[in-house]
A and B are shown apart, each in its own frame.
Chain A
Amino acid sequence: MGRAPQLANRTTSANHVDPQEISLPGDSGFWMFIAADASLFALLFFQFSRDRSSQSVVFDEGQQHLTVLLGTVNTLVLVTSSWLMASAVRSLHRNAVRTGMRLIAGTAALGLVFAAVKIAEYVLALRSGHTLSTSPFFMYYFVITGIHLVHLMIGVVVLVVVGWRLRVGIRRPSDRTLLECGTVYWHLVDLLWMFIFPMLYLAR
């Protein structure tokens, strides 16, 4: 059983929390990346809503071709993965490296499940003749979920790197930053889907 003293979080492992030591998890500059990314999605959602309100019939018609069940399954998959990731960080802060590694592997596996379901949905949509250019609804559907899927795959790669570093026993301070940045990023991927799912699949 490996020990990872550097991974232990100063602010949460001690009972006494020094206000001077409270900081954002991960690299503070990374939050600018998160903010920029969230702004792009906000802009996409804004543009979607604007176009939707001007052509609500086309959008409602397009939405009927989506399988809400698959979207719901993917929502549950992502929420569970986020919970596993949060548990992984907690385990690592307790120095339970093996449990943490397993939880991270579980998170990445759920990420792949999400991707597989999403790709199945794309195949279904393409088979029924919907593409990027068939209707404004499907343009937004493919673009927004596509960008989200790319985000998710990047997240899976980051999780694999984090897991691999833990496995081979490389424990540098930068690994803690990587773990925290990866976790923040994974939660962002989850959070974005919480907006995308109701917006594309449910809202009328």
Chain B
Amino acid sequence: MTKNESQLARLCAWAVAPYFILFGIGWGLLGRMIPPYPASMPAEELAQIYRDNASTLRIGFALAAFATTFIFIWTIGLFRVMLATERGGKILSYTVLIGGVLTGVDLMFSCFFWLTAAFRPEQDPALIQLLYDLGWLWLDLAFGVAMLYMIGVGVIALRDTREKPLFPKWLAWIGIWLAMEFLLELIMPYFRSGPFSWSGLFNFWVPFFPPATWMVILSVYMYKAAKRLNEEYESDIPRRVEQMTTD
């Protein structure tokens, strides 16, 4: 990895900070999504909340939708680091690229559904509820795209044969486990309340906060990896120059 690319990749790793800050404020705080309203809430009650807080909800979801831009930036940096880390055909690196970008798209679209609900909160409560439901079902059930990049990163990291691997094996295994754990979302549509509903322990707290923490830790190692990949490149220059002169 050249010096310039390494610097840009490290900048991309930093994109995780504005993403979590903006999304946390927009989606979590202003959008009132931590924790979300339960699926069992009557439409009238939900619509009343949307009417009472329309302006903060609008700012919140607009900000959160914009925050996903930083996931795209982050993914591009991650992709370049993965390309340099992966042995062989680079197919997994492209899986990481596609998975990361679509994870951003997934988050962005669900924010638009909630934003639409807050845009005309005076309308039929059933429509507010419909959009609220759509946002959650969309966000939770599109977990497959996040699986792509998390398992991709995991496998690339595990296959790294460097003496000191660029990414720790435990981080890779945790990523693979967290991705598999998303499968619990498959039963989410069966419940409107309880621990497996979208506001419950197993389909809200567990699949949201541990993966977010993992993403932050991954960014730290992505930063370090970009640095090391540049050092590998620099130390390899004399050999390449020699090869060129002998050719």
The residues of A with any CB-CB pair to B shorter than 8 Å are 27-33, 36-37, 40, 43-44, 47, 51, 132-133, 136, 139, 143, 146-147, 150
> Is B76 engaged at the interface, CB distance under 8 Å to the other chain?
no
Residues on B with beta carbons closer than 8 Å to the beta carbon of A136: 194
Knowing A40-B206, A139-B196, say if A27 contacts B178 (CB, 8 Å): no
Residues on A with beta carbons closer than 8 Å to the beta carbon of B169: 27-30
A23–chain B nearest beta-carbon distance, Å: 13
Cβ-defined contact, B194 with A139, below 8 A: yes
| Nearest neighbor of A30 in chain B, beta-carbon distance | B173
The segment from B6-14, B32-40, B113-121, B182-190 that touches chain A is B182-190
Give A143 to B201 CA distance when docked, in angstroms: 14
Interface of B is mostly: helix
B17–chain A nearest beta-carbon distance, Å: 25
Cβ contacts B181-205/A at 8 Å (1 or 0 each) = 1011001001100111000011000
Residues on B with beta carbons closer than 8 Å to the beta carbon of A27: 158, 169, 173
Give A51 to B170 CA distance when docked, in angstroms: 33
Cβ contacts B156-191/A at 8 Å (1 or 0 each) = 001000000000111111101110010110010011
Our pick among B172, B173, B184 for the contact of A147 (Cβ within 8 Å) is: B184
Interface of A is mostly: helix
Give A37 to B183 CA distance when docked, in angstroms: 13
Our pick among A37, A43, A132, A143 for the contact of B177 (Cβ within 8 Å) is: A37
Cβ-defined contact, B202 with A29, below 8 A: no
A171–chain B nearest beta-carbon distance, Å: 18
A188–chain B nearest beta-carbon distance, Å: 12
In the complex, the 10 A-B pairs of residues with the closest C-beta atoms, listed nearest first: A29-B169, A29-B170, A33-B173, A32-B170, A36-B177, A29-B173, A33-B177, A132-B190, A32-B173, A47-B195
Residues on B with beta carbons closer than 8 Å to the beta carbon of A29: 158, 168-173
Cβ-defined contact, B202 with A33, below 8 A: no
| Nearest neighbor of A28 in chain B, beta-carbon distance | B169
Cβ-defined contact, A43 with B206, below 8 A: yes
